[in-house]
Every structure is written in structure tokens, then in C-alpha cells.
Amino acid sequence: MVDASMLETLSRSTESCRRKPNIAIDGPAGAGKTTIARLAARRLGFTYVSTGSLYRAITLGLIRRRVDIESFEQAPDQDSVLKTIDVSLSYEAGEPRIYLDGEDVTDRLSDPEVTESVSEVARIPSVRAFLLDLQRSCAQGGGVVMDGRDIGSVVLPDAEYKFFLTASVEERTRRRLLELSAKGLEVAEEEIRHIIEKRDRIDSTRSVSPLCKAEGAIEIDTSGKSIDQVLEELLSYVAEPRMS
């Protein structure tokens, strides 16, 4: 005879068989996380979540509220200011769109004023705590490829697959220069290199959730490799669907 608890166990194990795995991809700026995470999600039929975009949306929210970012960490009303910022995520034709206070701000998130301040904002503990639930809720049902700095270590420590993408500073500078020149922007190589090194320093030395390779993460050095090579290397580790 099958009783209710056996049925529940059976349904839970069927559920875990069907549940798609989550994939965490961390690494420094310019290592290729966004490109690879987006392509991997497309190939697997998973949902892509860029957590950097969420930090960027909060940064834009603070800028629009004319908050002084340098002193925000000491402000007594941090939590109440953050509570007024409504950040959400939705998908159009499988592509993520980020909303700030009801407005689609996806195309504003790489504006220089946002990029300049986002590392400073992302190091503030109250901001990190504020975004934690939103990030976790995105991955609740499985089937998510999430990229960031602390996904494998803090946000999704139970992710089935964890990757840490790296590339030399020279390579990352070169990629950024190419990206900017494709947009018709000419910036001195030294300046780009300096910005990358500064972001690395802030991201890796902050007190809460610094950029680090999570335990058990597979490291992929993307220097000198094509996008296809990195994608295939990463996917070669992913057995999908995971039937365990």
C-alpha cells in the first residue's frame, strides 16, 4: 500500500529528477562571463541572469535619487533609501530586461556614470543584502545561468555547476578597447587598464562577498581562446538534464 508520505517522497524525488541544474559563473570584469553565460543559457534552454545588471540598476537608482555614493555606506537611513528602489527583471524573447521603478533601464546600465560608481555601490553591505533575496528567487526553480562575483560562493552555494572565468589584465584591456572602438569610442589603453585594475582591486578586497573562486568551482582561463572554445569547454562539464 502506498501512503501519503511515500507519495510525497516519490513526488519530491520526481521533482528533483526533473529540476534543471543551476550554473554559477563568477570572475573579474572582462573575463567573458556575460557573453559565455548568455550563450550557455541559450544553448541549454536556461534563463540567463546577470547580477552585475542588478547592481548597476541600484547604482542608477541611487544616482537618480541624488544620493552621495561615497558617503552612503555611513548613512543612517541606507535601508529606507534602498527600500524605495524598485528593481525587477523580466524577459522579452528570452532576453533579460531590467526595470528600475517601473521603467525599462536595460540600455542605461552601461552608461559611464553608472560604470564609474557601480563597484563602490557593490561593496556596500546593505546593498548586497538588499539584492540577495532577489538573486536567489531568480534561481529557485533551477535552470538558471547566473553570472557575477559571488554567485558560487554566496548567492547560490548549492549550484550544481560552478565556474570561475579568468583572463589576463592585458587580454581584458584589449577586449574592452575593441568593444569601445566598435561603439566608435577612442579611449587610451592605459586608461582602460587602470579602470580594470581599479575594479579588480575594489571587487576583490571588499569586506563582504569579495570576488573569489568558490570551493569546487572549475576555473577556465579565457585568455587567447575564442568565444566558441570557451563555450564548448564550459558546456563539456554540464550534463543536462541532471537525473540525480
Asked if 106 and 158 touch (Cβ cutoff 8 Å), the reply is no
Nearer to ligand DC, 149 or 162 (CB): 149
Q: What is the dihedral sign for C-alpha 63, 68, 69, 75?
A: negative
Nearer to ligand DC, 122 or 139 (CB): 122
> Applying CB under 6 A, which part among 1-9, 144-152, 184-192, 217-225 lies near ligand DC?
144-152
Nearer to ligand DC, 38 or 56 (CB): 56
Nearer to ligand DC, 76 or 183 (CB): 183
DSSP 8-state secondary structure symbol assigned to residue 172: H
- CA 76 to chain CA centroid, Å, is 28
Considering only residues 1 to 60 of the shown chain, the ones binding ligand DC according to CB under 6 A are 29, 51-52, 55-56
Q: Whole-angstrom distance between the N-terminal and C-terminal Cα of the chain?
A: 26
> Applying CB under 6 A, which part among 16-24, 38-46, 60-68, 149-157 lies near ligand DC?
149-157
> Applying CB under 6 A, which part among 81-89, 147-155, 178-186, 224-232 lies near ligand DC?
147-155
Whole-angstrom Cα distance, residue 139 to residue 24? 10
Which residues are CB-neighbours of 50 under 8 A, at least 6 positions away? 34, 37, 96, 146, 147, 148
Helices (H), the chain: 4-18, 33-44, 51-64, 69-72, 78-83, 112-122, 125-138, 169-182, 189-205, 227-235
Considering only residues 213 to 232 of the shown chain, the ones binding ligand DC according to CB under 6 A are none
* Residues in binding contact with ligand DC, number by CB under 6 A: 14
Q: x/- string (CB under 6 A) for ligand DC, residues 49-78?
A: --xx--xx----------------------
Q: x/- string (CB under 6 A) for ligand DC, residues 92-121?
A: --------------------------xx--
Nearer to ligand DC, 51 or 166 (CB): 51
Q: What are phi and psi of 184, to 5 degrees?
A: 80, 15
> Between the CA atoms of 118, 27, 147 and 182, what dihedral angle is there, to the nearest 10 degrees?
70
Nearer to ligand DC, 46 or 176 (CB): 176
Residues found near ligand DC in the complex (CB under 6 A): 29, 51-52, 55-56, 118-119, 122, 148-151, 199, 203
